[in-house]
Amino acid sequence: MLQFSCFCFLVIFFVHTVHADDDKFLTEPPDYITECQIADKNFINCSTQSIQQLFDKLNDGIPGLNSIKSFDPFYLNRIRITQGNSNAINLKVELGNVKINGFGHTNVLESIVYPKDFSWKTTFMLPEMKLQGDYSLFGRILLIPLNGHGQVFLDAENMTVIMHSKTRLYEKGGFTFYNVTDCQVDFKIDGLKSYFSNLFNGNKQLEDSTNKFFNDNWRMLAEALYTVITQTIEDILLDVLKKIFHYIPANFFIGDIPTSKQLYGGGSKGAASEAKRPK
């Protein structure tokens, strides 16, 4: 009976500890964020500088935010994508054990916040983004029939990303926070190097010629893999942004941000209470 009671106590303590750690947040403005006023005519410049500082800090890790284990490289367990039904591409792709390098050198070009709903448009550039992982695919790319599994390596050069993020404001602990609910990206690149191993079940000559064709026609390949690349970036950014903005109050980014009640009205379902933290 004593052992059971001790076990129950440990379980309750563990659950409470995990919940408490998950709900931690900053109560003092950190030195790596510049507070901006959205009513200020220079807000975009100020916001761009502040978001650049935030990305720079992510390289070293944000103190107290333990849920982001690594930003560069960033790891994803699995991505599944079906796209196509066209002459150019009809493809089922699954990526696993994905490792992405390059976000540590993010150059923020512009950060816009829309005062109507406090959604964002952020434009940034990655001098290089490298993806590697396990792949399996079935279908065709650029009229080439493919059915294989192995390792994939993608190396994008000078990737400019436009990110549209939707948010809902909520309060806890006397602060206003962003709940990032959606993230959509578009991109353009100056080059794409690629390599798919074991494309044709060990036919090295056919594998080499196909990889050469992909690299010689990288623009067509980038267009064919558009959904794969955008979903990868969206998955990374949505995960990171959710964790950051549940930890750092929006007040520290925008000094004159309204409360959820002021923005949505008292009856808004989007205004989360302190008792229920958005996920």
236: phi > 0 → left, psi -120 to 50 → alpha, else beta; which? alpha
Q: What is the DSSP letter of 266?
A: T
pLDDT number for residue 113: 97
CA 65 to chain centre: 16
What is 29-264's CATH number, 3.20.20.370, 3.90.1170.50, 3.15.10.30, 3.40.50.970?
3.15.10.30
How many residues can be counted in the chain?
Answer: 279
pTM comes to: 0.82
Q: Does residue 272 carry a pLDDT above 60?
A: no
Contact 156, 129 (CB under 8 A): yes
Q: Is residue 68 helix, strand or coil?
A: coil
**Domain-wise residue ranges, the chain:** 29-264
Q: What is the mean pLDDT of residues 1-25?
A: 45
CA 161 to chain centre: 12
Distance CA(147)–CA(201), nearest Å, equals 8
Strands (E), 189-249: 191-196
Contact 110, 104 (CB under 8 A): no
Contact 110, 126 (CB under 8 A): no
Q: What is the pLDDT of residues 33-91, one digit of tens each?
A: 999 999 999 999 999 999 999 999 998 899 999 888 888 999 988 888 776 655 666 77
The dihedrals phi and psi of 269, each to the nearest 5 degrees, come to: -75, -15
Q: What is the pLDDT of residues 200-225, one digit of tens each?
A: 877 889 889 999 999 999 998 888 88
174: phi > 0 → left, psi -120 to 50 → alpha, else beta; which? left
Contact partners, residue 111, CB within 8 Å, separation at least 6: 44, 47, 48, 50, 51, 120, 121, 122, 123
